[in-house]
Chains A and B, each alone.
Chain A
């Protein structure tokens, strides 16, 4: 359990002991009890809510959390496969991504990136528990599930800035620089760096019948 989890437990246990004692004794609402209940109802639960929320949100950034839904097992297994050469696996083996590799690549890095990423994550919860994902087999999921919107190149360029001499020295980068910056060509296009997840590519192939990733905007909702 994380240190925030321990803090949550301590605050919750303190608040619960005050509340249970009040419910057990049932005293009048004197000033002493008003202050005690203020601690037990407002102060300590607010602290516990804060720590448990931060702890919970932190857990949602971990790869194990993403892989806990069965429809993500193929993606999870590929990412953690030491023999895999997919983009996801190669980035996961990098310690800067490590246990948070799913989040690091799929997060929104804008000003309100963190809450926006979490809100978009709620769509996954909706699709899984209220949509069709929960009842899909893994084989069905691999064929059907696809990224909600085109993967933004700026997420790649969050680390690979495109400013270095090595990057600019690659002829292909120079020839597609404008298209890559404008999003017309994805870094993970076939012929460039390839799909991040082999399953995602297969799913796209099944939907499109070709590898024309430059027109990905037209096929993804």
Chain B
């Protein structure tokens, strides 16, 4: 899969990512590197532990990395979750990571396909 197609599939814009990061190699490299990033796992752990501040931090980081790599859908889902968790000391009821889960798995699936 070409990067261009990849970004269409994950809801992003290759042109802008390229403009920012200026190198196809780097984009490719770090997309693959994203597969090993632990942030998503941190988020899941924090949510399981109902640790609101930790969940916020993880979501925030996930949003940042996803945005950096142009994974716009994931970034925006993570951003939405970030806002729900911002400033919370108690884990808010009814918070769901479903959207983030969905877009995260969509992203890594596409990245995996990219690798292939």
Q: Do A and B come from one complex?
A: no
Query: B interface vs A, CB < 8 Å?
Result: none
